[in-house]
Structure 1
Amino acid sequence: MQTILYARVSTRDQTLEHQITQAEAAGFNIDEVVADHGVSGVQHKLRERPEGRRLYDKLRAGDVLVLRWLDRLGRNYDDVTDAVRHFIRKGVVIRTIINDMTFDGATTDPVQQAVRDALIAFLAATAQAQAEATKVAQQAGIELAKEKGDRFRGRKPSYDRQTFDMAVSLIGLGHGPSAVAKETGLSRQAVIRIRDNTNDAVAAMERWGL
Structure 2
Amino acid sequence: MATFLYAYVSTAEETIAHQRGEVLAAGYSFDRVICDYVDLGAQTTLHQRRQGRRLFDLLQWGDELLVRCLARLGRDEAEVTRTMLEFLKMGVTIRSVIDGASYRGGELTGMTIREAMTACGAMAQKQSDSRRLAQGTNLGLASNERKSRKPTCDRATFDIINTLLGRGIALTAVADAAKVDTLTVRRIRNNPARQVSLYGS
TM-score range, shorter chain: 0.5 to 0.7
Unaligned 5+ segments in structure 1 are 145-197, 200-210
SS at match of 2:88: helix
Q: Distance in 1 between matches of 2:27 and 2:127?
A: 25
**Any idea what SS the aligned residue of 2:66 has?**
strand
Q: How does 1:191-210 map to 2 (within 5 A)?
A: none
Which residue number corresponds to residue 108 of structure 1?
109
TM-score calculated relative to the size of structure 2: 0.61
CA shift, 1:22, in A, is 1.1
Corresponding residue number in structure 2 for 1:47? 47
Specify whether residues 42 and 123 from structure 1 end up closer, same or farther in structure 2 by C-alpha distance, changes over 3 A only. farther
Q: CA deviation at 1:80?
A: 0.8
The C-alpha deviation readout for 1:29-74, integer Å capped at 9, x for no partner, is 2100000013457510100000001011111000000011101112
Q: Which stretch of the first structure deviates more once superposed, 124-133 or 60-69?
A: 124-133
Read off the aligned partner of 1:91 and give its amino acid letter: G
Tell me which structure has the larger Cα radius of gyration. Answer: 2
Question: Once the two structures are aligned, what percentage of the paired residues are identical?
Answer: 32
Residue 2 of structure 1 deviates from its aligned partner by 0.4
Distance change in 2, residues 1:76/1:114 (3 Å): closer
Q: Distance in 2 between matches of 1:3 and 1:71?
A: 19
Give CA-to-partner distance per residue, 1:160-201, whole Å, 9 cap, x none.
xxxxxxxxxxxxxxxxxxxxxxxxxxxxxxxxxxxxxx97xx
Aligned pair count reads: 145
2:52 aligned with 1:35: no
- Structure 1 residues 79 and 9 mapped into 2: Cα distance closer, same or farther (>3 Å)? same
* Residues 1:140 and 2:153 aligned together: yes
Q: What residue number does 2:17 align with?
A: 17
**Deviations along 1:100-129, whole A, 9 cap, x unmatched?**
110123241136x65543221112334566
Contact 1:88 1:103 in 2 (8 A): yes
Question: d(CA) in 1 for partners of 2:27 and 2:138?
Answer: 37
Asked if structure 1 preserves the Cα contact closer than 8 Å seen for 2:73 and 2:80, the reply is yes
Q: Over aligned residues, Cα RMSD in angstroms?
A: 3.3
**1:27 Cα offset (Å):** 1.8
1:73–1:32: structure 2 CA closer, same or farther, 3 Å change rule? same
C-alpha distance in 1 between matches for 2:11 and 2:50: 17
Q: Secondary structure at the match of 1:65?
A: strand
| CA shift in 2, pair 1:39/1:74, >3 Å | farther
| 1:28 partner letter | Y
Equivalent residue for 1:77? Answer: 77
